[in-house]
């Protein structure tokens, strides 16, 4: 009913991360630039941290949509997996075939063969993990070991972690200190200030084709 009243063609504040609503505000554009720079440099681990609601998943989807054919991507939106489950999930995302009874050494060999193959064709493999704070210490260590797959000149797999701040606390554990050392690019998404928040709300209304002006007062949009 309210969509018809305001002349909206769709809901402007839907919780589903729709990349057409991506707004190039400073914190999100800076984070996106860090991602592109790090991937272009061929770094192993990249980390984007942000509290709930700061736009991590939308930024994640934006990255997936923007990467060109130079990159082969795998996306894990729910990484609450065992180490063996993680390896199989990555293989599935890269469409690597394997037998149901495959052992862990064999699946690692399949992954390595796949990564070498696409590298020989001039492509780069990128694993993108959302909600990375949900990973156990054992699974995080298994993830680190995957970055040991490399040639003499480059890493065969780049990993981008999107996570809530709890991941930083987890990375302080001494059992995965080597993973922390491998994170070469990191960015923390900050909350929007009042000016950015107004721009964000108006942007989403425009994308949703709102036909009315001044739907919200500035005091109604601002946090103070």
pLDDT in tens, the chain (224 residues): 556 656 666 777 777 777 877 888 888 999 999 999 999 988 779 999 999 988 899 899 999 999 999 999 999 999 999 999 999 999 999 999 999 899 999 999 999 999 999 999 999 999 999 999 999 999 999 999 998 887 767 789 999 999 999 999 999 999 999 999 999 899 999 988 888 888 887 877 777 777 655 656 566 556 55
CATH number, domain 22-188, options 3.30.1370.60, 3.40.50.300, 3.50.50.60, 3.90.1150.10: 3.40.50.300
21 contacts: CB under 8 Å, gap ≥ 6: 12, 58, 203, 204, 207
Domain residue ranges in the chain = 22-188, 193-221
Closest to 190 measured CA to CA, from 55, 33, 44: 55
Q: What is the pTM of this model?
A: 0.86
């Amino acid at each position: 009913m309210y969509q018809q009243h305001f002349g909206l063609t769709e809901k402007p504040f839907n919780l589903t991360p729709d990349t057409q609503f991506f707004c190039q505000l400073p914190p999100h554009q800076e984070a996106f630039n860090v991602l592109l720079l790090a991937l272009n440099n061929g770094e192993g681990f990249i980390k984007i941290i942000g509290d709930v609601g700061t736009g991590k998943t939308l930024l994640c989807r934006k990255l997936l949509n923007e990467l060109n054919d130079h990159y082969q991507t795998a996306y894990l939106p729910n990484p609450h997996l065992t180490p063996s489950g993680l390896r199989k999930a990555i293989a599935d995302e890269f469409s690597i075939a394997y037998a149901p009874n495959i052992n862990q050494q064999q699946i690692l060999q399949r992954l390595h063969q796949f990564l070498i193959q696409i590298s020989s064709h001039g492509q780069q493999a990128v694993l993108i993990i959302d909600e990375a704070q949900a990973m156990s210490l054992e699974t995080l260590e298994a993830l680190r070991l995957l970055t040991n797959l490399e040639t003499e000149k480059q890493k065969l797999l780049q990993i981008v972690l999107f996570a809530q701040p709890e991941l930083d606390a987890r990375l302080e554990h001494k059992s995965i200190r080597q993973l922390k050392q491998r994170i070469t690019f990191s960015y923390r998404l900050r909350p929007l200030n009042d000016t950015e928040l107004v721009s964000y709300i108006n942007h989403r209304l425009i994308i949703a084709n709102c036909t009315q002006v001044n739907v919200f007062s500035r005091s109604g949009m601002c946090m103070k």
